[in-house]
Amino acid sequence: MNEAGEKHSEKHLQEAGDVTIFGSDAQIELQLGHVCNNRCVFCVSGQLTEQRLAKQIPVDPVIKALEDGASRGSKRVTFLGGEPTTQRSFMPALRRAVDLGYEQIVIFTNGVRTRKAEFVDKILALGGNYEWRFSVQGGTREAHDAVTLRPGSFDRIVAGMRHVADRGEDVTINMCVNENSYESLPHFPELCKEYSVRQLHIDQMRPSDAGARTDEYFAQFLTRYSEMAPYFAKMLEGFEEMDPDYDVNLGNYPYCQLPEWAHKIHHDGQATLTYPADGVGNFCDPFDKYPTKRADKSHAPQCDKCAFKSQCNGVFDKYAELFGLDEFKPVSLERLTELDTRGHFFVLLVEPALKQFFEAQPPAPWKADEVFRNTRDRIIETRYLDAEGRRATIIITPPPGKGKDVPVHAPLMVTNRFRVSLLLDEGVEPSDVEKLMVWAAEHLESHRTVEVTEAPDWVRLRVGLLPPEELKRVQYKIARLIGRIQRQGEFAGSSCTSIRPAEHGFGSVLEFGRAGQAIVSVALRVELDGDRPRLGVSYDLADGAEPDAARPVLTDVMAALRA
């Protein structure tokens, strides 16, 4: 409780004395209590420490949580707090995480201890692959110190970043913007460059995570979103100038405040399960972290007209209570289309064309499981389960030429609006997969704005469903033939000038030419003979090449392949 009688939540009081485990199959986050040596104005940890409610976390439950995570297959672990490095359990836990083979260990720190190079070296001596996530609370010394309420804390944190960057380690920054720091935002590009920071994530001050505070306190430290917009814009322009692909993102900022930068904004989204610890480090029944995080947010009535609504979680209730909702101006689909010169809003704009597909029932034995929209990476995944619970995921990404290519499996089908790929769990029945894809293709093509540019590649699908050892046998043969061509080197005065993966089917395409002139390409692919794989060879004349020039080259190439 604070002096004004505001109470801490049960959740924060429980976290203050226990390890809390957040996680999914792939990664876990271990919150080592709330003890912290800073007093950040947006955070509950400093207040709980000040009030002596935050405690040291015993090492055993932390080790147990790490072991459970590893046995569930987690590859990445994040240590956070409070300040995890102040915990006596920190070093033993880190050592155990390395021993358990976690592939990536994220240390989320305020940098108080890393200011000493020996501390950094002590951690590096354990081995392990680290991401050092520094909690930098301002683009300038003044702003950072005004947020942490610890004079000198900026100098300490950048000293740590220097040590870590100088050792070639991965440095990232997290910041929580508030009244004491927003004006310093435009200084971040410079700071990130100086300390080789790979990624910057800026979140909003969340009233429910700020501790037991009064309304006057929130009115003092929460800043109106519209007031911050020009500072965010200036910062983002700075990053754009420095490196258009720089990894900077704003969490939980309403899209309507900066629609032209909406591709840099994301709201709590992908399901992350939270395993509350039971005090001795056992995982209890998990719950989805993000619905919990969204519980203190809501939309304004006018949000119903906004194109961003499906990915926007609205605004914090306390914010709405203090400042009202007039700031939030819906963005129309037309406006979004106008703004989308680089295909950033693929997921939102393609949605109407996929409505019928999303609503259709898949053929038996499939059951629709979930649709996952990743607006930032521009991917939609629709997941289906067969009778055994094995998953088929249909992946929808932008078509070629609509912004940066999204790296996914080779597409099975391409339209003017999207590309379609497929990902399967092991053991699914090939005939069930074909049934699902025939059904999907029919519904995906059904919208009037969709034109198929590359029809579904059923041969590729069937070849992809062959038992892996049979497929490998033919792929190995292709690799051997390519080796033979490379060794021979010369074919009627021409040579093999390039080898690339085949765009269709499984295999490779070899280009032949001479004196900078392409003559002919030869494709070696896995084909089907009934339900057995075999090697297929085909050729194509290069644009403008004479058949007479290609014939002797092809004769020599075919002879080499047959030898």
Q: Output phi, psi for 128, to 5 deg.
A: 95, 155
* Residue 39: closest CA among 141, 149, 136: 149
Choose the stretch contacting ligand SF4; rule: CB under 6 A; options: 199-207, 251-259, 394-402, 475-483. 251-259
Choose the stretch contacting ligand SF4; rule: CB under 6 A; options: 98-106, 309-317, 363-371, 387-395. 309-317
Options 55, 234, 294, 299; binder of ligand SF4; rule CB under 6 A: 299
Q: Output phi, psi for 34, to 5 deg.
A: -125, 5
**Interface pattern 258-297 for ligand SF4 (x via CB under 6 A):** ----------------------------------------
Cα Rg, the chain, nearest whole Å: 28
The structure tokens 């037991």 sit at: 212
Choose the stretch contacting ligand SF4; rule: CB under 6 A; options: 7-15, 102-110, 211-219, 301-309. 301-309
- Quick one: which H or E segment has residue 536? strand 532-541
* Residue 528: closest CA among 458, 477, 481, 468: 458
Give the amino acid at 58. Answer: P
Instruction: Quote the least distance from Cβ 297 to ligand SF4, whole Å.
Output: 9
Residue 260 and residue 355: Cα distance in Å, rounded?
Answer: 26
Options 32, 66, 306, 441; binder of ligand SF4; rule CB under 6 A: 306
Choose the stretch contacting ligand SF4; rule: CB under 6 A; options: 215-223, 227-235, 304-312, 333-341. 304-312
Query: With binding defined as CB under 6 A, does residue 228 bind ligand SF4?
Result: no
**Residue 232, CB half-sphere, CA atoms under 13 Å: how many?**
31
Instruction: Quote the least distance from Cβ 175 to ligand SF4, whole Å.
Output: 21
Contact 513, 542 (CB under 8 A): yes
Query: With binding defined as CB under 6 A, does residue 309 bind ligand SF4?
Result: yes
Instruction: Quote the least distance from Cβ 424 to ligand SF4, whole Å.
Output: 36
**Interface pattern 326-345 for ligand SF4 (x via CB under 6 A):** --x-x---------------
Choose the stretch contacting ligand SF4; rule: CB under 6 A; options: 135-143, 310-318, 347-355, 483-491. 310-318
**Residue 18, CB half-sphere, CA atoms under 13 Å: how many?**
20
Query: Three-state SS string across 433-479, please?
Result: HHHHHHHHHHHHCCCCCCCEEECCCHHHHHHHCCCHHHHHHHHHHHH
Query: Hey, is 308 helix, strand or coil?
Result: coil
- Closer of 124 and 320 to ligand SF4 (Cβ): 320
In terms of DSSP bridges, do strands 273-275 and 19-23 run parallel, antiparallel, or are they unpaired? antiparallel
- Closer of 330 and 365 to ligand SF4 (Cβ): 330
Contact 147, 42 (CB under 8 A): yes
- Closer of 64 and 206 to ligand SF4 (Cβ): 206
Options 312, 347, 440, 524; binder of ligand SF4; rule CB under 6 A: 312
Strand order in the sheet with 367-374: 367-374, 379-385, 391-397, 419-424, 413-415, 452-454
* Residue 148: closest CA among 178, 172, 123, 124: 178
Choose the stretch contacting ligand SF4; rule: CB under 6 A; options: 108-116, 155-163, 299-307, 548-556. 299-307
Contact 84, 97 (CB under 8 A): no
For residue 72, the 8-state DSSP code is T
Contact 539, 520 (CB under 8 A): yes
Choose the stretch contacting ligand SF4; rule: CB under 6 A; options: 106-114, 149-157, 312-320, 529-537. 312-320
- Closer of 188 and 328 to ligand SF4 (Cβ): 328
Which are the contacts of 211, defined by CB distance < 8 A and separation ≥ 6? 2, 8, 12, 43, 44, 46, 47, 48
Choose the stretch contacting ligand SF4; rule: CB under 6 A; options: 189-197, 307-315, 452-460, 510-518. 307-315
- Closer of 330 and 403 to ligand SF4 (Cβ): 330
Options 19, 44, 236, 303; binder of ligand SF4; rule CB under 6 A: 303
Choose the stretch contacting ligand SF4; rule: CB under 6 A; options: 300-308, 396-404, 430-438, 475-483. 300-308
Residue 16 and residue 5: Cα distance in Å, rounded?
Answer: 19
Is 458 exposed, middle or buried, given 0-12, 13-18 or 19+ CB atoms closer than 10 A? middle
- Closer of 309 and 390 to ligand SF4 (Cβ): 309
Instruction: Quote the least distance from Cβ 300 to ligand SF4, whole Å.
Output: 6
Instruction: Quote the least distance from Cβ 329 to ligand SF4, whole Å.
Output: 6
Contact 507, 472 (CB under 8 A): no
Options 254, 276, 507, 533; binder of ligand SF4; rule CB under 6 A: 254
- Closer of 305 and 500 to ligand SF4 (Cβ): 305
- Closer of 218 and 316 to ligand SF4 (Cβ): 316
Instruction: Quote the least distance from Cβ 257 to ligand SF4, whole Å.
Output: 7
Query: With binding defined as CB under 6 A, does residue 94 bind ligand SF4?
Result: no
How long, in residues, is the chain? Answer: 563
Instruction: Quote the least distance from Cβ 177 to ligand SF4, whole Å.
Output: 17
Instruction: Quote the least distance from Cβ 188 to ligand SF4, whole Å.
Output: 23
Options 120, 300, 353, 436; binder of ligand SF4; rule CB under 6 A: 300
**Interface pattern 479-508 for ligand SF4 (x via CB under 6 A):** ------------------------------
Residue 127 and residue 124: Cα distance in Å, rounded?
Answer: 6
Q: How many amino acids of this chain bind ligand SF4 (CB under 6 A)? A: 14
Instruction: Quote the least distance from Cβ 412 to ligand SF4, whole Å.
Output: 34
Residues at the site binding ligand SF4, with contacts judged by CB under 6 A: 254-256, 299-300, 303, 306, 308-309, 312, 314-315, 328, 330
